Amino acid sequence: MASRPNGRGGRPGSRGQAPRGRQGGTRQGKGAPSRPGRGGRPQGRRQDAGRPQSPRRGGVPRPTGDVVEGRRACAEALETGVPIKRALISPGPDADQALSSLVRRLDEAGVPIERVPRARLDSLSSHGAHQGIVLQTKPFEYAELDEVIANAGSGDALVLVLDHVTDEGNFGAIVRSAEVVGAAGVVIPKARSARVGTAAYKTSAGAVLHLPIAQVPNLATALDRLRKAGFWAAAASEHADQDVWDAPLSGRLALVMGSEGSGVSRLVMEHCDFSCRLPQRGSVESLNVAQAATVLSYEWLRRVTRGEGADA
């Protein structure tokens, strides 16, 4: 595109003179260069997603990390690449060929298998329907924000910033879209936000294993760091004055998607350079956060593919 609206022309280096968009509403309307996978990311201090667990009643401790129970859920965890620490098995009266087959697949995948008393699985089960099998998964290793910035390189890059998206299914779907379009990473807050659990592995189709996901204590501070690294911060809001077709969604972009209920918060909005909305002709409620993130990410990809980068 020839220039950015509201006098924001040129590269992001002159950001201090650019007016910020501060829209009255914050609710949302409810994008590539190659980069290394998780194995090729710069190594740094990591934050552990596992939370200490206290012993449960009866003296049986809950293992650290997430617990997956039930045959179907355990099979899906294996198929979607959830990192499994061990499988706890107690065939009991409902042992059958299906359970034996699942245990064999786990063994072939190199998952340690431990046979335990039925009472052990009962103590770990959240609803008593473990069907003789419980998986203990490894805690997810989150990246540092510096890793996401390093992964972006110096050219066109997309970073998805999620302002307290709480549904793990939406979170996983957003990560999947981000990975598919070649985003440099995803940034989420440490508190009041969906985290990488079994549902995120499933809905992301394993994309959480191939994209840096950074947990940060403060999104506003994280946005300032991204902007200092040359990113424009754009908030998705149904109350924005400009729609996505007129917004400068190209070059180095930090795309902020808000929570399912209240959208982008006022404080986070104040740290964005502009906001934009998806146009709508229909009469039903607008797209949810995962759908909107996919549309906006692909608009970014369309523009950078056509050469509408940072110098456009």
Q: Is the same domain home to 61 and 166?
A: no
Report H helices in the chain: 71-79, 97-108, 118-124, 145-152, 168-181, 198-203, 219-228, 266-270, 289-305
pLDDT at residue number 23:
36
Q: Is the same domain home to 191 and 297?
A: yes
pLDDT at residue number 93:
59
| CATH code (residue 291) | 3.40.1280.10
Q: Is the same domain home to 29 and 85?
A: no
> Is residue 282 domain-resident?
yes
Q: Which domain-ending residue is among 115, 137, 159?
A: 137
pLDDT at residue number 263:
87
Q: Which domain-ending residue is among 84, 110, 137?
A: 137
Other CB atoms within 10 Å distance of the CB of residue 100: 12
pLDDT at residue number 94:
56
- Pick from 161, 149, 166: nearest CA to 236: 161
Distance, in Å, from the CA atom of 259 to the CA atom of 257, rounded to the nearest integer, reads 7
Q: Is the same domain home to 150 and 132?
A: no
Distance, in Å, from the CA atom of 163 to the CA atom of 165, rounded to the nearest integer, reads 6
Q: Is the same domain home to 130 and 229?
A: no
> Is residue 10 domain-resident?
no
> Is residue 310 domain-resident?
no
Distance, in Å, from the CA atom of 141 to the CA atom of 85, rounded to the nearest integer, reads 14
User: Tokens at residue 101, please?
Assistant: 């087959």
| CATH code (residue 110) | 3.30.1330.30
> Is residue 11 domain-resident?
no
> Is residue 312 domain-resident?
no
Q: Which domain-ending residue is among 137, 156, 180?
A: 137
Q: Is the same domain home to 240 and 190?
A: yes
Q: Is the same domain home to 255 and 290?
A: yes
Q: How many CA atoms lie within 13 A of 75 on its CB side?
A: 10
Q: Identify the residue whose tokens are 């290394």.
A: 36
User: Which are the contacts of 271, defined by CB distance < 8 A and separation ≥ 6?
Assistant: 20, 219, 220, 223, 224, 227, 233
Q: Is the same domain home to 72 and 167?
A: no
Q: What is the tally of structural domains in the chain? A: 2
Distance, in Å, from the CA atom of 51 to the CA atom of 61, rounded to the nearest integer, reads 13
Q: Is the same domain home to 109 and 22?
A: no
Tell me: the pLDDT tens digits for 218-263? 999 999 999 999 999 999 988 888 999 999 999 999 999 988 888 8
Question: Is the CB of residue 181 less than 8 Å from the CB of residue 298?
Answer: yes
pLDDT at residue number 38:
44
> Is residue 7 domain-resident?
no
pLDDT at residue number 129:
79
> Is residue 1 domain-resident?
no
Q: Is the same domain home to 222 and 248?
A: yes
Q: Is the same domain home to 60 and 34?
A: no
Q: Is the same domain home to 72 and 21?
A: no
Determine phi and psi for 259, rounding to 5 degrees: -70, 160
> Is residue 8 domain-resident?
no
Domain that holds residue 227: 17-43+144-305
pLDDT averaged over 10-residue windows placed end to end, the chain, 312 residues: 39 39 38 41 40 38 63 86 90 74 93 92 81 88 95 96 92 95 96 85 85 95 97 92 92 93 90 92 85 96 84 46
